[in-house]
Amino acid sequence: MVFIATNEEQKQNKQKVILDLKIIAYFLVIFLAMLATIFAFSALKNHHNVASDDFLILPYDGWPTFFNREQWGAKPALNQTQLQHPVDLVIVAHTVTTFCRNFEQCSEIITSMQNYHFNLKMTDIGYNFLIGGDGNIYEGRGWDFVTFQNNHSISVSFIGNFLADELNLYMIDAFHQLMIDGVKEGKLSKDYKIVCHNQTKATLSPGENVYKVVKMWPHFRPGILQN
């Protein structure tokens, strides 16, 4: 015996199939959206776990701001020795000060740091550049002048005490952008090497919480630097 569906039954079956397809499509869209979110967060996490030298554009209002000496209130240097370019060595340090989160805090720390270095009979603040917790770059001696650390290097210091403090994403990206600018301007060689301060002398600088990040960067070179 063969049962033939009535027009009403056929209509109901068609509506049920359409409803089932809509439910499937709804859950498929939700699944794809969740998958995309997982991949996005995974990519961001991996970028900073690996801490590569590739610059990541973060979701804030643009590039790091570069504050020159005049803007943060520097005193004139007492003496300056010219650097020869391009420089092939970058030394990473920390200031062993409090952490700063805005221009006012960072500039106050930097001016105090310059005065402290003057008291140590240094001719200027000891770093070529400093990077604050606000994600901005502060000019120290700049690209063109030698620091106390090495006669053929660029010294970059993160503001804070990174035996306890942690680098944030903005500070890491500001450092990468500074390196990119240095290469573009011919101040750094394309194959520049990065070392930490504790690879050049017996010191805790730049702190374990900086070292653990920097040692993952492709330009990092392990071992003790021999002058």
| Closest C-alpha among 118, 4, 132 to residue 65 | 132
Q: Which CATH class is domain 66-214?
A: alpha beta
In 3-113 the beta strands, taken as DSSP E runs, fall at 66-67, 87-94
Q: Is 94 in contact with 155 (CB distance < 8 Å)?
A: no
The pLDDT tens digits along the chain (227 residues) read 444 445 565 555 566 656 566 667 666 666 666 665 555 444 444 443 334 444 443 434 457 999 999 999 999 999 999 999 999 999 999 999 999 999 999 999 999 999 999 999 999 999 999 999 999 999 999 999 999 777 799 999 999 999 999 999 999 999 999 999 999 999 999 999 999 999 999 999 999 999 999 999 999 999 988 76
pTM of the predicted protein model? 0.74
